[in-house]
Structure 1
Amino acid sequence: MSDITNSELDRRTLLRRAAAVGLAATPAVGMLSACVGGGEEDTTDQATGTKSADNPLGVDPKAPIEIVIFDGGLGTKYATDVDTPLYNKKWPESKVAYSATQEISTTVQPRLNAGDAPDMINNSGAKMMDFGAIVAAGQAQDLTELYAAPSFDIPGKTVAETLVPGTAEWGSYTGKPYALNYSYTVFGLWHNATLFEKNGWALPATWAEFTALCDKIQAAGIVPFGYAGANAAYYMVRALLTSAGKIGTEQVLKDIDNLKPGAWTAPAVLEAAKAWGEIGKKYLDKSFLGLKHTEVQLQQNQDKVAFYPCGSWLENEQAKDTPPTFKYAVAPYPSVTTSDKLPAAAMNAAAGEIYFASSKGKNPRGGMEYLRVMLSKEAATEFTKLTKSLTVVLGAADGVELSPGLTSANAALTKAGKDVFMGYLFDTWYKKLGDESLSAVNDLMFKGGDAQKFCDRMEAASQALAKDSSVQKQIRS
């Protein structure tokens, strides 16, 4: 494996990528059509300290802090072995209570509703909470002070100045930042480069090449393409909509986010649904509908599945089950038509993995300070080493020897150049619509559902939401 060093992950590279995905332009997340509810917070019992140059967020040095981390593809060692020790080094009198879960909504939502919220929460996974509803209920801390505060370990810079431009805006609702999207994720067709090299399989650039290769893979006794229907349908939604974005540009996805009439039945979405529906009929093992993500991923590690649609957390998530001969690599989703508006090399990459401080917890300032620790260069560098994932902290991966998968992801981003796009937000903004997309894509892929039915179903759900005055709407520009 060749090392990726400073020259390949420098500030200009990340800035270029940020601009390409729309982060460096005007805020991607616009204003809600109405103000959030929840009213003023009762901060009577919340811990506070005296603000100073050494304590810019006004943390109570002795106040305990509670954090809850999602135990998924990124693992939890970055929290237990890096972030928490750094926090304790800074605030030795503060006790950090830590827990991890794979079911965030089950564990945390009742506590938010009961007024017993943890101070910092990693909202992720198949059972992530509806973050738009959390913001609307006034349960998320405004992070404006965090981004304006001095960096934890980079002198002379604010936190915001150390991050990929637009990081704060991407997690904004009603014009204010509430979510920190920490991990920079590359999405595509993940595969074992060793297996492909061994069989002389060239990565496809066109859909005809893709299906022809799937035929070869199938003839070799390997499932050409797979994902887990039980809890990873999100991966397939992203694959389908990435193809739609390549066919018609990211505007197709912005229209979906903005609940524009006809967005889901647009030609680009229909073409993508038709193409992927055929893959489901011909090349997908239907038994995967009842499997969880790690079960299908294990089959891929055993070379029983060739292509897996996922993000760059995959390599770390499967580390304990990956044999030495398995070399993770990622390829862009092939062009669906001969007239796609974005080239075959175009990639979907995004800042994701939500972390937030609870505004109604006992120590929201401690929650923000924990995020400031996470956004230090030291913490971000160690995160990349431990998780094989980039962060939004500029330059944090400089000099780090990257894994095969992350090396491949970086090479794909470099090849894509300006044709890296962010994707969509509707599933984060409107959880009910996101859930509908999971069911709809499983029907399309596993049950022989046709593309028009998929598009019509999602269009109906989108427009029902658009007409529901009880749901606060958001605008993506």
Structure 2
Amino acid sequence: MSEIFGTPELDRRTLLRRAAAVGLLATPAVGMLSACVGGGSDSGNNADKPKGEKSATNPLGVDPKAPLEVIIFNGGLGTKYATDVDIPSYNKLFPDSKVAFSQTEEIATVVQPRFTAGNPPDMINNSGSKLMDQGALVQAGQVQDLTELFAAPSLDIPGKTVAETLIPGTVEQGTFNGKPYVLNYAFTVFGLWYSGKLFKDNGWTAPATWADFTALLDKMKAKGITPYGYAGANASYYQYTAILTSAAKIGGADVLKNIDNLEDGAWTNDAVKQAAAAWAEVGAKYSNKAFLGLKHTEVQLQQDQYKVGFYPSGSWLENEQAKDTPAGFDYQVMPIPSVTASDKLPATAIYAAAGEQYFVASHGKNPRGGMEYLRHMLSKAGAKGFTELTKVLTVVKGATDGEDISPGLTSGNKMLSAAGSNYFSFRFDTWYKKLDDELRAATNELMYNGGTADKFCARMQKAADAIKKDSSIEKFHR
């Protein structure tokens, strides 16, 4: 994972424009700038209020009686890992602390007004189709620096700091210009998901080349199955991850680094064009345009009913569909097939990264409690409990070694093992929400509305250039 380099400190006016643009400051509340929005440091926040005595069991100095508020996105991972694993663990250490828990499917709708009002929850899981602009929150000084958390001793892995128990690159994934502000907790592998039973019944095997892939799509189509699909209403980022995975495999992982860094011409690179062209053909010939108006669970349900062949997703899919998956369905996942015979990365290369953002509000009532809550999530017991409940790995190394939890998780682990060091990711989606929003719309146009690779690339380059030129948006780099 590449290091992120610092940038000049923001001036007060730029900070105000950026915060107001994402709703962190309501217009009448401009006079409250100093109270609600700080700079990038911890100066003036509640990091030391309330505060308890530091000890071997309380290395972050949490006030053991201070209440804690936690809000979790209720999506593919559910919320049982919070209610059944992490909150009980926190309360075992701090039995006098009342933990207020809530869940929502719309994080921005519920939480962003509370940042505006100056009373945010202490620990927030920022995820879903309506997530908050994480880069803007960091820029506005609303996010707690997690350096102290990562330097603290692990809750249950003796002799290790929290950072030392994590998969390499985890801390960097949540770093913004030199400081760690976000914990990306779920280690997600991304690929094309399918039914092992459907494949076995038809004698099909997972394709590695684009020619074999489209040939299999033809076979599925001949059987009356929609060969490929995703939900355009709220999950077009599933598909744009597939497109960018293809681009990285064609041209190398630097294709994604250049996109993250807003390099000139990053989106009009030949690798991106080739990837977009290949996927546009899949959308035109092998999908269903009616999916444009559907939500992710609606298309996923059709796959569980053996009506859809391939579905692009991360490893949260199996858990999300648990109640609708028929016995014997046997979730499996495969890498995105190689588009050309001269791809720079092998067919086994995949998108895999620490994801699912958790952060502590620097102006919350109990930031130290929020960091301590994350320490419990990052314990071996917390990570194991999370994986058992969600069928998704965490960034805690070896937390589930030897565990046989589910077909999809086993398949994802095999795919990750086969990839070796050939896995990659991007970060622009959390750095620049406007770019993420534009890419979702451009992907739907490409796949379901007759778009072309040239239009797709030109549209995205224009959006990236506009962000690059906008002095009110802080730029990040890797």
TM-score greater than 0.5 by the shorter chain: yes
Deviation at 1:212, TM superposition (A): 1.0
SS across alignment from 1:246? helix
Partner of 1:416: 419
Letter in 1 for 2:141: G
Residue pair 1:194, 1:325 contacting (<8 A) in 2 also: yes
Q: Aligned pair in 2 of structure 1 residues 437, 220: CA closer, same or farther (>3 Å)?
A: same
2:367 corresponds, among 364, 377, 388, to 364
Letter in 2 for 1:223: T
Work out the CA distance in 1 between the residues paired with 2:93 and 2:48: 23
Work out the CA distance in 2 between the residues paired with 1:30 and 1:196: 47
1:461 corresponds, among 460, 463, 466, to 463
Deviation at 1:74, TM superposition (A): 0.7
Partner of 1:30: 5
* 1:8-23 to 2 correspondences below 5 Å: 22=1
Partner of 2:355: 352
> Is residue 317 of structure 1 aligned with residue 320 of structure 2?
yes
* Ranges in structure 1 where 5+ consecutive residues have no aligned partner: 1-21
Deviation at 1:430, TM superposition (A): 0.2
Partner of 1:90: 93
Range 127-136 or range 47-56, more displaced: 47-56
Q: Aligned pair in 2 of structure 1 residues 253, 42: CA closer, same or farther (>3 Å)?
A: closer
Partner of 2:27: none
Partner of 1:188: 191
Range 164-173 or range 182-191, more displaced: 164-173
> Is residue 289 of structure 1 aligned with residue 264 of structure 2?
no
> Is residue 443 of structure 1 aligned with residue 418 of structure 2?
no
Partner of 1:165: 168
Range 315-324 or range 412-421, more displaced: 412-421
* 1:419-438 to 2 correspondences below 5 Å: 419-421=422-424, 423-438=425-440
Partner of 1:208: 211
Work out the CA distance in 2 between the residues paired with 1:289 and 1:46: 48
> Is residue 249 of structure 1 aligned with residue 224 of structure 2?
no
SS across alignment from 2:198? helix
Deviation at 1:114, TM superposition (A): 1.1
TM-score, with length taken from structure 1: 0.93
Deviation at 1:35, TM superposition (A): 4.3
Residue pair 2:177, 2:477 contacting (<8 A) in 1 also: no
Work out the CA distance in 1 between the residues paired with 2:135 and 2:44: 18
Residue pair 1:41, 1:359 contacting (<8 A) in 2 also: no
Work out the CA distance in 2 between the residues paired with 1:183 and 1:458: 28
* 1:252-271 to 2 correspondences below 5 Å: 252-271=255-274
* 1:170-181 to 2 correspondences below 5 Å: 170-181=173-184
> Is residue 121 of structure 1 aligned with residue 124 of structure 2?
yes
Deviation at 1:276, TM superposition (A): 0.2
* 1:300-311 to 2 correspondences below 5 Å: 300-311=303-314
Work out the CA distance in 2 between the residues paired with 1:44 and 1:467: 34
Partner of 1:10: none
Range 30-39 or range 50-59, more displaced: 30-39
Work out the CA distance in 2 between the residues paired with 1:303 and 1:111: 43
SS across alignment from 2:145? coil
| Runs of 4+ residues over 6 Å off in structure 1 | none
Work out the CA distance in 2 between the residues paired with 1:121 and 1:443: 33
SS across alignment from 1:99? strand
Residue pair 2:46, 2:367 contacting (<8 A) in 1 also: no
Partner of 1:9: none
Work out the CA distance in 2 between the residues paired with 1:455 and 1:42: 42
Deviation at 1:204, TM superposition (A): 1.3
Q: Deviations over 1:217-269 (max 9, x none)?
A: 00000000000000000001100000000000110011101111110000000
Letter in 2 for 1:455: C
> Is residue 332 of structure 1 aligned with residue 307 of structure 2?
no
The number of residue pairs the alignment matches comes to: 450
TM-score, with length taken from structure 2: 0.92
Partner of 1:7: none
Work out the CA distance in 1 between the residues paired with 2:5 and 2:205: 42
Q: Once superposed, what is the RMSD of the aligned Cα atoms?
A: 1.3
Q: Aligned pair in 2 of structure 1 residues 43, 349: CA closer, same or farther (>3 Å)?
A: closer
* Ranges in structure 2 where 5+ consecutive residues have no aligned partner: 16-37
Deviation at 1:162, TM superposition (A): 1.0
Work out the CA distance in 2 between the residues paired with 1:383 and 1:126: 22
Q: Deviations over 1:355-376 (max 9, x none)?
A: 0111000000000000001001
Letter in 2 for 1:91: F
2:103 corresponds, among 95, 100, 103, to 100
Deviation at 1:113, TM superposition (A): 1.6
Work out the CA distance in 2 between the residues paired with 1:388 and 1:262: 39
Residue pair 1:46, 1:361 contacting (<8 A) in 2 also: no
Deviation at 1:44, TM superposition (A): 9.4
Partner of 2:79: 76
